Amino acid sequence: MAKTKVAILYGGRSVEHGVSINSARNIAANIDQKKFEAILIGISKQGVWYLNASVTKDIEQGKKLSLQLNPSAPAFVDELGNTYHVDMIFPVLHGTDGEDGSIQGLLKAMELPMAGTGVLGSSISINKLMAKQVLQQAGLPVGKFLHFFYADKTKINFKEISASLGLPLMVKSANLGSSVGVSKVKSESEFASAVEDSFRYDDCVLFEEYIQGREIECSILGNNPPKASLPAEIILNSKYEFYSFDAKYVDGDAVTIDVPAKLDHDVTEQIREISVKAFQALHGEDFARVDLFLRNDGKIFVNEINTIPGFTNSSMFPVMWNERGISFSDLITKIIELASERFEKSKRIERDFQSSLKF
């Protein structure tokens, strides 16, 4: 039987470019080579696509690619005119232009099967403002928040915001991940620089109440119905104010991870139920990671959902499923199978309508 050709997309025009490379490297190393042929496509920081022989930070060393714009026979074409047909796209593009529905829309228009959440779920989930509003409408618990757009920057008032949310509070760019553009503010002297930093990366900034408690994550896999892993807990070294970029990716001693988290059975099941509902409310597909807070009084809050969670050696998404007996390789296979099954089911949707309209 011929192997399924899976194009792994990585890199991209995002502040999370490097994280994407690390995730893709792990997927390429662990994909079942008996079932799949991995085709490695790197996207440079300028947005140019290249065919690479391996997952590398030197993306531009590969062959430049273009996409043949024909939904009935989509294909990649290199600079020499060679054509590459693939059976499945596996985007591992964290953040802007990768996790926000942009790439998903392109792939959908070309009728290329794709692993992971589609256009709608991606665009909602990456926008922290939209995601919180949708979660609220679904009756799911989120912390108190305010938001401002860059055009209204002069209306941002520390005293009013801190009176509403309390101190400390969190300042975040609305459309980023990996804790880029995020600050914990404890006083007015820290406020202005935190706002400036968040506006560097986005036109919308969120101000959130700081929730004192435990940081919990829960992984989701599947569609009808989706299933939740057991929750895991991130225990942060006291030298960090919050789970920052460096704590996530640079400092190996920044966190201790409990997989599964030491929680009462009832709390565990409540977290799993809330995580599945959040995934469904935000139109997640195939897989995701839900980040939550467990406040000291026992109340649970949804923080955000990551539709393309990290796949590095220390990333919580594969670690949580490994605890459930699903190896890294089997997890990749399962995701590809879920995406393929969903794509086949989508073919029942009619794209043409026969009418008496004259044109």
Please, which pLDDT band fits residue 177 given cuts at 50, 70 and 90? low
Phi, psi of 17 (to 5 degrees): -55, -50
Whether the per-residue pLDDT at 97 is higher than 90: the answer is no
Provide, rounded to the nearest whole percent, the portion of the chain with pLDDT above 70. 94
For the chain, give the mean pLDDT.
92
Enumerate domains of the chain plus CATH numbers.
4-114 (3.40.50.20), 144-209 (3.30.1490.20), 213-346 (3.30.470.20)
- The β-bridge partners of 177 are none
Which residue do the tokens 């989706």 mark?
A: 226
Please, which pLDDT band fits residue 245 given cuts at 50, 70 and 90? low
Segment among 56-60, 83-87, 288-292, 344-348 with least mean pLDDT:
344-348
Strand segments, DSSP code E, in 79-141 are: 83-84, 88-91
Distances (CA, A) of 205 to 146, 149, 151, 172, 208: 9, 6, 11, 6, 10
Measured CA to CA, the distance from residue 272 to residue 280 in angstroms comes to: 12
pLDDT at 252: 64
Handedness of CA 186, 187, 191, 193 (dihedral sign): negative
pLDDT one-digit tens code per residue, 18-35: 989 999 999 999 999 999
Provide, rounded to the nearest whole percent, the portion of the chain with pLDDT above 90. 80
pLDDT at 82: 96
Over residues 73-84, mean pLDDT? 94
Please, which pLDDT band fits residue 249 given cuts at 50, 70 and 90? low
Whether the per-residue pLDDT at 178 is higher than 60: the answer is no
